């Protein structure tokens, strides 16, 4: 139940609603529903029924209807990946991303990814945006160009030193074309790898495959950059060993060359009042080997997977923008959007009619970025869909066992169902209670995950 300190801080309306919910006859069942959603902050409400019948005899094996549920509704998780929208579902999404990335680094027998993938060349690369003008920062010597030693949480960090000369248009156009720039980079990277191996690109396809998993992150200045696990496999992916010439040093050198090559660029034509632009990656490029176990200087598989998972649930919220599409610029005043971010959004609005195919205004809340926040190549590892299906199958097996249907052959059971959407979300009191449930579940899961990680690491060290 919600703690006393939380109750004391509630407004009378929310507190009254909380007491109403807690005192209702169906409260225990409501709690059970919310626990099953993981404490979802914005659950989907469904009404309907499902019926299990024996195909041979026609006997009813099980019948469920939402008529007996609190409010006559079943609540299911919204599944939103954004932590700003639903911390609970975002936590699940981050967990799936962690397992996806780690499986491509350490292997996963359940998904036919052998542990020998650890012997393949793999690096963790960060590709950044170019400069669009000087911003407030915390350089190595500690003093910003403005002459101030900024605190780590200073609100001016990442904002323009001189807004009048900062290239806001260039910043949002770069974000908008970042996905294409990544595609150009991966194409060039294959050429660079083939050149270093002394073979053609066609021959490269016959002996090696480039695999990656990446995530986008917004810097404080509002420019997007990418973190990527890049790996070299044999021709059929992680199940086949890479050729003898494939090394970590060669892969890292090829990445640096591909990022700097003139081919790795995107050209944007001139428009009314806007010059023609050619976008390339910034000069800040970081490429580091991934090790199974760190020595203090190396980054480990677990650290990389955790880092990627962390940013998979974020968008541009750290810049102060909105986490949804913007209807009118007046919304920026109501939500007190910072000046630097406001100028980027205004640039999207101003440039939208000049580049109609780029849909800049539709993506203004993302500061122009319209790509996927997390993505992977086909053979990097498992997929998010497979992970979700495994979870759904596990829950279905649990349900069948609880209903006494675990021994029934799937082909002998006919399932009929009728579901209707009936709304979403919580009342104010329900939101407080759901947040409490979510915190308890997350604490329990984090404890279990830490214990499992410790046991796994101990086992791996003993194996070595």
pLDDT, average across residues 402-430: 85
pTM: 0.85
Please, which pLDDT band fits residue 447 given cuts at 50, 70 and 90?
Answer: confident
Region label for 368, one of left (φ > 0), alpha (ψ between -120 and 50) or beta (otherwise): left
The per-residue pLDDT for 147 is 87
Cβ-in-10-Å burial (0-12, 13-18, 19+) of 6 comes to middle
The per-residue pLDDT for 104 is 93
β-bridge partners, 160: 135
Cα diameter, the chain: 83
The per-residue pLDDT for 111 is 82
User: What are the φ/ψ torsions at residue 87 (nearest 5 degrees)?
Assistant: -55, -35
More confident residue, 299 or 358: 358
CA 166 vs CA 13, 163, 316: distances in Å:
46, 5, 19
| pLDDT for 348 beyond 80 | yes
* Summary count for the chain: helices (H), strands (E): 12, 12
Which secondary-structure segment (H or E) carries 395? helix 384-403
- Estimate to the nearest angstrom the gap between the alpha carbon of 455 and the chain centroid: 27
| pLDDT for 298 beyond 60 | yes
% of the chain surpassing 70 pLDDT? 94
CA 455 vs CA 208, 300, 450: distances in Å:
34, 16, 9
The per-residue pLDDT for 462 is 58
Cβ(429)–Cβ(23) below 8 Å: no
Per residue in 204-254, pLDDT (tens digit) is 999 999 999 999 999 999 999 999 999 999 999 999 999 999 999 999 999
pLDDT, average across residues 408-416: 79
Token pair listed for 330: 């007046």
The per-residue pLDDT for 448 is 79
The per-residue pLDDT for 451 is 77
Please, which pLDDT band fits residue 73 given cuts at 50, 70 and 90?
Answer: very high
Please, which pLDDT band fits residue 326 given cuts at 50, 70 and 90?
Answer: very high
Per residue in 184-204, pLDDT (tens digit) is 999 999 999 999 999 999 999
The whole-angstrom separation of Cα 63 and Cα 406 is 16
The per-residue pLDDT for 1 is 57
Least confident range from 128-137, 326-335, 398-407: namely 398-407
The whole-angstrom separation of Cα 321 and Cα 344 is 10
């Amino acid at each position: 139940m919600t703690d006393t300190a939380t109750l004391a801080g509630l407004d009378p309306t929310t507190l009254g609603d909380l007491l109403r919910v807690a005192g209702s006859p169906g409260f225990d069942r409501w709690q059970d529903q919310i626990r099953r959603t993981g404490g979802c902050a914005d659950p989907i409400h469904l009404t309907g029924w499902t019926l299990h019948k024996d195909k041979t005899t026609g006997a009813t094996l099980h019948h469920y209807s939402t008529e007996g549920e609190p409010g006559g509704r079943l609540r299911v998780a919204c599944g939103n990946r954004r932590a700003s929208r639903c911390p609970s579902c975002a936590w699940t999404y981050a967990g799936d991303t962690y397992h996806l990335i780690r499986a491509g680094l350490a292997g996963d027998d359940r998904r036919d990814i052998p542990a020998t993938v650890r012997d393949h060349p793999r690096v963790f690369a960060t590709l950044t945006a170019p400069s669009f003008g000087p911003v407030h920062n915390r350089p190595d010597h500690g003093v910003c160009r403005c002459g101030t030693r900024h605190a780590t949480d200073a609100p001016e960090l990442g904002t323009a030193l001189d807004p009048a000369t900062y290239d806001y248009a260039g910043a949002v156009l770069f974000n908008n074309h970042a996905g294409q720039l990544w595609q150009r980079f991966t194409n060039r990277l294959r050429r660079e790898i083939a050149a270093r191996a002394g073979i053609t690109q066609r021959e490269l396809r016959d002996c090696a495959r480039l695999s990656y998993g990446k995530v986008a992150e917004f810097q404080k200045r509002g420019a997007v950059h990418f973190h990527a696990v890049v790996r070299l496999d044999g021709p059929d992916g992680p199940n086949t060993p890479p050729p003898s010439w494939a090394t970590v040093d060669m892969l890292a050198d090829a990445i640096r060359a591909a990022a700097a090559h003139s081919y790795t660029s995107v050209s944007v034509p001139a428009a009314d009042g806007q010059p023609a632009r050619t976008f390339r990656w910034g000069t800040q490029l970081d490429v580091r080997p991934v090790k199974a176990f760190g020595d203090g200087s190396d980054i480990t598989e677990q650290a990389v997977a955790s880092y990627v998972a962390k940013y998979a649930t974020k968008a541009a919220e750290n810049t102060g923008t909105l986490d949804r599409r913007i209807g009118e610029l007046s919304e920026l005043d109501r939500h007190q959007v910072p000046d630097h971010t406001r100028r980027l959004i205004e640039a999207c609005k101003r440039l939208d009619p000049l580049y109609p195919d780029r849909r800049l205004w539709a993506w203004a809340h993302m500061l122009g970025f319209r790509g996927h926040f997390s993505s992977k190549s086909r053979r990097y590892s498992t997929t998010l869909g497979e992970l979700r299906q495994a979870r759904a199958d596990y829950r279905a097996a649990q349900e069948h066992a609880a209903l006494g249907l675990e021994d029934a052959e799937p082909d002998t059971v006919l399932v009929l169902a009728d579901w209707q959407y009936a709304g979403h979300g919580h009342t104010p009191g329900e939101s407080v209670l759901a947040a409490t449930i979510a915190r308890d579940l997350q604490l329990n899961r984090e404890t279990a995950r830490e214990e499992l990680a410790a046991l796994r690491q101990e086992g791996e060290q003993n194996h070595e």
